[in-house]
Amino acid sequence: MAGASSSADVEAKAAVFVEVEKLELYTERYDRAYRDSWWRRGPSPWRGNWGPRAEVNLINARRRDQHESGEGPSALVRHLEEQKLRDGFLVDIDRPGPLPNVTEGIHRFIPLPRFHRFLRGRSGSMLTLPLRVRAKGHSASWEEARDQALDHFAATRPGLPSPRFRGPRHRRAGRRGAR
Amino acid sequence: MRGKDLDNLAHLLLPPIEEKLCVQRGTVLGYRVYSAVGGPPGIQLRIIDSTRLRELEIALMDADLNPSRLARLER
């Protein structure tokens, strides 16, 4: 059939969807959505799911992992740590463009951006990289700094101090070394 | 930093992120890149679950389709 494509053809093609919107319109929609729904119950981009109960589960799983052998407890610890790591949420400043006057006014009295930065550091889901300078000779040094920051993050996961937080490959290598 | 620079920045960050932090290449499901207010100066890179991006899309659409009384008054 003319125009028909095989499954191999379909797999080879990539689909890219691009939505273009004026910055002012997007920020207005973002602010409106935040104002209208941050307090609502149910699934929300403005709220995380990691709570005290999950933290207790993680602590218990780490304890079990220390005392029991086998991949089961370790896999559970890795799963929970990853869940905690990715449980970031969005707030009113997580959008491009200047903030509305009301939000700016509130932030003058309550330092919410600093508070959110603190929380993001605690959950380990954030790292800060240097700004990229567009000048000759700076590109390589920026890439080096970027790689260093990512390597450090991968090795330590700030906010997740457990030395057991490693990918499966690292963990297996560590065990072999210990034996 | 804006426009094409932001797009280039995302493309300079995605491959090393996937290489160093993910199980394999092509596992980052989405990203948002923008120039925002606040400090400290630098690139704040956050790793969050892809469900948040979907929930954001839903919240934006919901605010358009079911505006609150305040939003209706503002309009």
Q: Please check whether residue A143 touches B, CB under 8 A.
A: yes
pLDDT (tens digit per residue) in A60-75: 988 888 887 766 667 8
Which residues are B43's β-sheet partners?
A129
Q: Is the previous residue joined to A161 through a cis bond, with omega within 30 degrees of 0? A: no
> B63, A43: Cβ pair inside 8 Å?
no
Residue of B nearest to A146 (CA): B13
Which of B45, B47, B51 is closest, CB to CB, to A129? Answer: B45
> B16, A131: Cβ pair inside 8 Å?
no
pLDDT (tens digit per residue) in A31-85: 999 988 888 888 899 988 888 999 899 889 888 888 877 666 678 888 888 888 8
Instruction: Determine the pLDDT at residue A4.
Output: 46
Secondary structure element (H or E) that encloses residue B19, with its range:
helix B4-21
Minimum mean pLDDT range among A52-61, A144-153, A166-175 = A166-175
Instruction: Determine the pLDDT at residue A160.
Output: 57
Instruction: Determine the pLDDT at residue A5.
Output: 47
Which residues are A39's β-sheet partners?
none
Q: Please check whether residue B69 touches A, CB under 8 A.
A: no
> A150, B59: Cβ pair inside 8 Å?
no
- Rounded to a whole number, what is the distance in Å from the CA of B10 to chain A's nearest CA? 12
* pTM score of the predicted model: 0.76
User: Coil, helix or strand for B46?
Assistant: strand
Task: Kindly provide the ipTM of the predicted complex, given to two decimals.
Answer: 0.86
For residue B55, pLDDT beyond 90: yes
Phi, psi of B46 (to 5 degrees): -120, 145
Q: What confidence tier does A164 reach under pLDDT thresholds 50, 70, 90?
A: very low
Contact A83, A158 (CB under 8 A): no
- Rounded to a whole number, what is the distance in Å from the CA of A74 to chain B's nearest CA? 17
Cα distance between residue B50 and residue B42, in whole Å: 23
Q: Which two tokens stand for residue A166?
A: 């490693």
Burial class from Cβ neighbours inside 10 Å (0-12, 13-18, 19+) for residue A34 reads buried
